[in-house]
Amino acid sequence: MSDFIDRPRYSCALGGALGTIRALPKVVPIMHAAAGCGGNLSSAINFGAGYVGSGYCSGQALPSTNVIERDIVFGGENRLREQIENTLKIVDGDLYVVLTACMVDMIGDDSRSVTKEFSDHRVPVLFAETGGFKGNSYKGYDLVLETLFRDFVEKTDEKEEKTINLLGIVPIQDVFWQGNLRILKELFEKLGYKLNTFFGEGETIEDLKKSSRSKLNIVVSDIFGIDAAKVFEEVHGVPFVTTQFPIGEKSTNKFLREIGKVLEVPECLVENIIREEKKNYYNYIERIVDIYNDIDLQRYSVVVGDSNYTQALARFLADDLGWLPELVVITDELEEKDKELVLKRFEQYESGFKPNVIFDTNTSSIEKHLNDIWPNNKESIYYDSFSPAFVIGSSFEKDLAKRIDAPHLSVTYPISNRVVLDKGYAGYRGALSLVEDLFGILVEKR
């Protein structure tokens, strides 16, 4: 049995595609799959992402062919054709996207040709091959964006020098995607740029359609959104750069300086923004100095999650908060070349700290990794225990936290033990929210 089957932290490519479309305004998915696919994936999206709900047209209202044995034996193309026709009649959308599941891809249904029959419809009907075996949720995100960038985004030579696009924050998989996008958008506005996030507050499908006019694509990840950015560059000639997902003052300072240099923003403007943001940031941080010192709120910590969040969280804990993130477990399923890229994000901490970074998709192995770097007390009189500690990860880490007698906060997918609305952890302001959540747990029982 493969390791990643043990309490996986993502769904299949189809699930990622559904989550991505769920976050786009008034875009309707039409799923060519069995009923079980839609039912299970809608539950994974809703209950695993802080109870995000169904959105405009997903969840139990998700249009689906619900293919059965007969369709698998004799082909499901007629059933797909019927479902597209009925969805167009009943569901009002600005864009429709046909998505496929494993079984219909394996039997060879020509879903693309069936979808093309509706190319003259007044509203675009697109097709993305998203059989679950193609990868996990992150792959589904890329597959949907690749389809949109090829077949929906308009081709134009017009460019808007002060407009850029942001990729790499995966809706649903990043449970706080809307809050994070809002925070980053505000930072780019201070730099003098309009930021298309596609999935954020106030975004429209028209913004996506005209995104080819942008000057640049910025991918806040070394892994997620890279394939989509390459397609955008290939089709529309818009280049892309990659940078880290920032949490906290230190990381966000670096983020702004990197982006400022790429966009050729005057250095004095960037430094003024940083100076003002730091002033506001530390005005709030100084409120916790007394309680931090009086009852010694420094903690050892374990950080578990995807490559975006773990690098950002660990650096924030070590460089901003003065904590000791001894163990970081990255749960993405990555190739060796991608692991090398991710590991570079854990170098050169300002605090001089160097966490132990492990790549493992198996939830049950995390405690073993902790014991490897911090052995259990073997009845020794003098023993340096892993305490006081804090576990930051997903809902799955609740059990680990209980076993090592540590508080726990769910930050990475899946999150089923807290409701998430507009909260975000990115940037300066997001870090303040994170400090509130962490310290709120620590002082709760005083």
Q: What is the pLDDT, as a whole number, of residue 132?
A: 87
pLDDT interval class at 379 (50, 70, 90):
low
Q: What is the pLDDT, as a whole number, of residue 2?
A: 44
- Domain assignment of residue 59, yes or no: yes
Q: How far apart, in whole angstroms, are the C-alpha atoms of residue 145 and residue 128?
A: 9
The residue-averaged pLDDT of 170-179 equals 97
Burial level of 101, CB count in 10 A (0-12/13-18/19+)?
Answer: buried
For 353-362, letters b (16+ CB in 10 Å) and e give: bebbbbbbbb
- Domain assignment of residue 279, yes or no: no
Sequential DSSP letters for 51-79: S----SS-GGG--B----HHHHHH-SHHH
| Residues in a beta bridge with 127 | 98
Same domain assignment for residues 294 and 421: yes
Residue with tokens 């189809």: 14
Same domain assignment for residues 232 and 353: no
Token output for 243: 């940078």
- Domain assignment of residue 103, yes or no: yes
The residue-averaged pLDDT of 149-169 equals 96
Q: 107 or 5: whose pLDDT is higher? A: 107
Q: What is the pLDDT, as a whole number, of residue 54?
A: 82
Same domain assignment for residues 147 and 171: no
| Residues in a beta bridge with 303 | 328, 392
The residue segments making up the domain with residue 180 are 163-263
* Contact assessment for residue 279 and residue 305, using Cβ atoms and an 8 Å cutoff: no
Listed residues 133, 152, 171: the one ending a domain:
152
CATH classification of the domain holding 428: 3.40.50.1980
Compute the Cα dihedral for 7, 8, 14, 18 and give only its sign: positive
CA 443 from chain centre, in angstroms, equals 29
Residue 244: closest CA among 197, 301, 204, 184:
184
Q: Whole-number mean pLDDT of the chain?
A: 94
Q: 6 or 346: whose pLDDT is higher? A: 346
Same domain assignment for residues 258 and 333: no
**pLDDT tens sequence across 220-242:** 999 999 999 999 999 999 999 99
* Contact assessment for residue 225 and residue 20, using Cβ atoms and an 8 Å cutoff: no
The residue-averaged pLDDT of 437-445 equals 93
Q: What is the pLDDT, as a whole number, of residue 382?
A: 64
| Residues in a beta bridge with 301 | 325, 390
Listed residues 100, 129, 152: the one ending a domain:
152
Token output for 240: 């892309």
No. of helices (H) and no. of strands (E), the chain: 18, 12
- 391's CB contacts (< 8 A; 6+ apart) are 301, 302, 304, 397, 400, 401, 404, 406, 407, 408, 409
Q: What is the pLDDT, as a whole number, of residue 58?
A: 81
The CB density around residue 26, as the number of other CB atoms within 10 Å, is 15
443 has pLDDT over 90: yes
Same domain assignment for residues 30 and 135: yes
Listed residues 101, 123, 152: the one ending a domain:
152
Q: What is the pLDDT, as a whole number, of residue 378?
A: 60
Q: What is the pLDDT, as a whole number, of residue 385?
A: 85
The residue-averaged pLDDT of 327-331 equals 97
Q: What is the pLDDT, as a whole number, of residue 11?
A: 92
Residue 257: closest CA among 246, 245, 267:
267
pLDDT interval class at 24 (50, 70, 90):
very high
Helix axes 177-190 and 427-443, enclosed angle (nearest 10): 140
Same domain assignment for residues 17 and 88: yes
Q: What is the pLDDT, as a whole number, of residue 49?
A: 94
Q: How far apart, in whole angstroms, are the C-alpha atoms of residue 63 and residue 83?
A: 8
316: DSSP letter: I
Same domain assignment for residues 297 and 247: no
Q: How far apart, in whole angstroms, are the C-alpha atoms of residue 96 and residue 112?
A: 13
- Domain assignment of residue 275, yes or no: no
pTM of structure: 0.94
Same domain assignment for residues 308 and 184: no
Same domain assignment for residues 180 and 137: no
- Domain assignment of residue 117, yes or no: yes
Q: How far apart, in whole angstroms, are the C-alpha atoms of residue 50 and residue 60?
A: 17
**pLDDT tens sequence across 351-364:** 999 999 999 999 99
Same domain assignment for residues 56 and 191: no
Same domain assignment for residues 429 and 325: yes
* Contact assessment for residue 328 and residue 355, using Cβ atoms and an 8 Å cutoff: yes
**pLDDT tens sequence across 86-145:** 999 999 999 999 999 999 999 999 999 999 999 999 999 999 999 989 999 999 999 999
Q: How far apart, in whole angstroms, are the C-alpha atoms of residue 439 and residue 407?
A: 10
Q: 377 or 232: whose pLDDT is higher? A: 232
CA 60 from chain centre, in angstroms, equals 23
- Domain assignment of residue 271, yes or no: no
Q: What percent of the chain has pLDDT over 70?
A: 97
Q: How far apart, in whole angstroms, are the C-alpha atoms of residue 191 and residue 250?
A: 18
Q: What percent of the chain has pLDDT over 90?
A: 89
Q: What is the pLDDT, as a whole number, of residue 53?
A: 87
Same domain assignment for residues 415 and 364: yes
Q: How many domains does the chain have?
A: 3
Token output for 122: 């007044």
Burial level of 420, CB count in 10 A (0-12/13-18/19+)?
Answer: middle
